[in-house]
Copies of this chain bind each other. A is one copy, B any other.
Amino acid sequence: MYKPLFDHIGKFVNLEASDIDKLKSCLELSKIKKKEHVLIEGQVCNTIYFVIKGCMRQYIINSKGAEQTLQFGIENWWITDYLSYHNHVPSSFYLQAVENTEVIAIDKTVLEALLTEIPSLERYFRIVSQKTFGAMQMRIKFLFTMSAEERYHHFNDHFPEFVQRVPQYMIASYLDFSAEFMSKIRAGKI
């Protein structure tokens, strides 16, 4: 049941059998119901989540009271508020399940201890977070250079199933335009 995580780790590093056991003994599967939060604004985030099944999102509530999705986390993604996690400061974000979701939730103190014990695991997280950072650099590029319509088509071309999977208004805010505008793009009225 932790297989997806060990498969993912195996893509980047080789863990010894003893390390796998050690890690396994610290893991716990948790189920999060659709719309349930695992983090709300103002809380300090002390947990990191690996999505086994389902979908999580990170969002904020803007000055007009509207939700804006900043990040999704689907199968085989880690999701957390890294700034709150590392600096022990109150989070600016909400972390919520978009669907009924199964995650492996690892507490910071548990994870930090594991990382010191298992250098390969440290390596895994280093590689994954650098790659994720690289993806974020590309995202900034797309946000800066493409029009709203281009962003929609680009995203839809790359992740067609995902666009079907979550509400349109979440995709719209993730791509930084209004839900109404997305509706018009889809209808070809732009």
Number of interface residues of A (CB under 8 A): 42
Interface core residue of A116, A132, A135, A173 (most chain B CB under 10 Å): A132
Chain A 137-174, CB-CB to B under 8 Å as 1, else 0, gives: 11111011100000000000000000000000000010
4 further contact pairs, Cβ within 8 A, besides A58-B137, A82-B134, A83-B138? A86-B127, A86-B130, A143-B143, A143-B176
Cβ contact of A133, chosen from B92, B122, B123, B133, cutoff 8 A: B133
Interface core residue of A70, A82, A135 (most chain B CB under 10 Å): A82
Q: A115 within 8 Å of B by Cβ? A: yes
Minimal Cβ-Cβ distance residue in B for A119: B119
Chain A interface mostly? helix
CA distance A84 to B137 in the complex (A): 11
| Residues of chain B lying within 8 A (CB to CB) of residue A135 | 83
CA distance A134 to B119 in the complex (A): 23
Question: Is B133 touching A129 in the complex (CB atoms < 8 A)?
Answer: yes
Q: A181 within 8 Å of B by Cβ? A: no
Copies of this chain per assembly: 2
CA distance A135 to B68 in the complex (A): 18
Question: Is A126 touching B137 in the complex (CB atoms < 8 A)?
Answer: no
| Residues of chain B lying within 8 A (CB to CB) of residue A102 | none
Q: A62 within 8 Å of B by Cβ? A: yes
Cβ contact of A134, chosen from B85, B116, B130, B138, cutoff 8 A: B85
Question: Is A141 touching B83 in the complex (CB atoms < 8 A)?
Answer: no
A148–chain B nearest beta-carbon distance, Å:
13
Question: Is B83 touching A131 in the complex (CB atoms < 8 A)?
Answer: yes
Question: Is A134 touching B62 in the complex (CB atoms < 8 A)?
Answer: no
* A–B complex contacts, Cβ < 8 Å, 6 sampled: A63-B145, A86-B130, A126-B129, A129-B129, A133-B136, A136-B136
CA distance A62 to B140 in the complex (A): 13
Q: A77 within 8 Å of B by Cβ? A: no
